[in-house]
Structure 1
């Protein structure tokens, strides 16, 4: 083994702690402390511990590392300050491979967390803006089936008859929109806002609207069979003749809602609030109402055969 200065590739005689690196043809300058102190069990810490002979360019005095140098600056920034960069998904994967090569356990854990967060952000990122949706409506070529519109503001738009089936509508705003005859079959609309929207004869079969806001909405004759509507708010909503068979209405709030003639056969109503709701002639056959709030509800003419109260 050569001298410590040779082993560390030092070219700055005035400061023996400085190291000059050539990583795949890209030059870097850093210190031995940076390379060894944050992750003492890494390959870099071992390389510059003084225990191993390094590949040094005798002319330039640089330590050569045979790796792609594109992402090595991110490696150094992590070693210096613990910084995780903001990158595209593909770049994260490339950097993760480099971190694994250098055996930087802490960086690998942080990158893995960042990749997971990026994937979640990409999954919730809307594919179309409000302006693009309006343009689509004007062109009369409405193809929104399966589209990701999560978080978009589509309030007050005329979306009557639009097919949103299989669409991703997480936290999308539809307040005061005209959604007459709209199709939301099998859509993901958790947290969506339909406040005061017109949803007459709309279809939500198999849709997931957990925690959604439907207060004041017009849902006359809407079909919400097999939909997940747990924790949603239907306060003062018009649900006359709505189809809610086998829907999950756990902890849903129907206070003051009009459910006259609605069909709730097989619906899950545990914890639901039906206080002051109009349930005249509603179909509640074999429904478990034991854990629901029914104070002041109008049950005149309701079919309660086999219902548990």
Structure 2
């Protein structure tokens, strides 16, 4: 009989209320640098329900079966574009770099094989950025793969960029004023000094993005992922960050005056010298956050 320490020993997981059973080998072999591999490598102690033996992870379990199947056989599931955006957020949380790249590859191939209902193609975009002035104001670019392109100073104001892939793109000083960017992917993109005033970024993925001094005033950032993003000196006045995930984000000197932070995750975030005056933090998760020098005058905090 296998011992508990053996790599093939059973592991019972409770992901946001959904129960799963797998092996330690599955969780550690394919993605050895992931969070799951670290949890079950034997180097760390994980807390289990003493009666049922389940390890609880506070995430939505909707797509966790796809996570497990990826770890078992390395195959990216066939999903709708909107579901890929959700799965990508989970892959980012669990630090599954291979799955992140796999989803990007599938989306790239899908965009090549299917006729997109857009006004421009990736090739058109590349031709445009070679010209002196780059403007895509009001253009429908939904679903395009614009990853890794140099789009610095481009103007996307009022455009429809739903589910567009901007992963690792250079968007320095780009303008996204009043864009519809729901579900857009900005994973590890350069967005320093960008303007997102009034933008709809609901459900967008900005994990690992560089957003220093970016202007996100009055933007809809509901359900956005900013995990490990750099938001130093960012302007977030009156932004709606309800349910947003800013775990580990850098918000040093950021201005959050009037921002909505209901159920926002700021665990481990750096909020030193941030402006949080009169902000309602009662339903905000701030465990492990750094608040040294932050302006909290009149802020409402949970008791």
Q: Deviations for 1:240-291, whole angstroms, at most 9, x for unmatched residues?
A: 0000000000000000000000000000000100000000000001100000
Q: Deviations for 1:98-151, whole angstroms, at most 9, x for unmatched residues?
A: xxxxxxxxxxxxxxxxxxxxxxxx9x9221110100011112342201111010
Task: State whether structure 2 residue 208 is matched by structure 1 residue 216.
Answer: yes
Would the aligned equivalents of 2:217 and 2:236 in 1 still touch at CA under 8 Å?
yes
Task: State whether structure 2 residue 145 is matched by structure 1 residue 153.
Answer: yes
Specify which of 134, 139, 154 is matched with residue 142 of structure 1.
134
Unaligned runs of 5+ in 2: 1-114
- In structure 1, the partner of 2:230 is 238
- In structure 1, the partner of 2:294 is 302
Deviation at 1:217, TM superposition (A): 0.2
- In structure 2, the partner of 1:65 is none
- In structure 2, the partner of 1:165 is 157
User: Could you tell me the TM-score, scaled by structure 2's length?
Assistant: 0.61
- In structure 1, the partner of 2:75 is none
Deviation at 1:207, TM superposition (A): 0.4
- In structure 2, the partner of 1:282 is 274
Q: Distance in 1 between matches of 2:235 and 2:277?
A: 14
Q: Secondary structure at the match of 1:134?
A: helix
Larger radius of gyration: 1
Q: Distance in 2 between matches of 1:133 and 1:220?
A: 25
- In structure 1, the partner of 2:197 is 205
| Larger deviation, residues 133-142 vs 218-227 | 133-142
Specify which of 186, 206, 220 is matched with residue 194 of structure 1.
186
- In structure 1, the partner of 2:97 is none
Number of residue pairs matched by the alignment: 187
Q: Secondary structure at the match of 2:300?
A: coil
Q: Distance in 2 between matches of 1:137 and 1:239?
A: 26
Would the aligned equivalents of 2:142 and 2:161 in 1 still touch at CA under 8 Å?
yes
- In structure 1, the partner of 2:244 is 252
Q: Secondary structure at the match of 1:204?
A: coil
